[in-house]
Structure 1
């Protein structure tokens, strides 16, 4: 018998989100601290599915994350939110990498970050 882990449950939840148009096979995306992230390809487009419940003791409230994500998209700083429900957030995928401390010390990068 296969033992279920939080990541297994998150995978199953990501697969069952009603926003998908076809069958999906979410692929793990590292880096989530308070949620489990997946890259999901659906009908030729890529998305990020973020699965995670509120963590009240740490003041992690997903409705705040949703509001911040929508505001960041409106300001041109973040990908579009394409679906949300309590504990799940789906955004359009943007190819890239996390900036390091060294990256943000470079003048050219600072000019891109703070025009």
Structure 2
């Protein structure tokens, strides 16, 4: 049996940009992507703490060290610059394997930088 479990989470980062006229996705500072054990094009769920929106998109790399969190395309309508979001990825794995798995959780500072 395969189940979906939390693989990685970037907890409480501030949206720095929202670009409606873009193909789509979320741009994330590459430092945060690496720290959270995520990769470019990975499917992620975005949870907006300010308004309760929950939606899915995929990751594109942002410039390393900038703290960039930019929602692109239609997702830009679900956030405001300054909103706090949680970025979550999940993995499918065998039930027994999942019992032993430890997710990666990152808690950036107020400027979306690694502590």
Answer 1 or 2: higher relative contact order, Cα 8 Å, separation at least 6: 2
In proportion to residue count, which structure has more strand? 2
Q: Normalising by structure 1, what TM-score?
A: 0.26
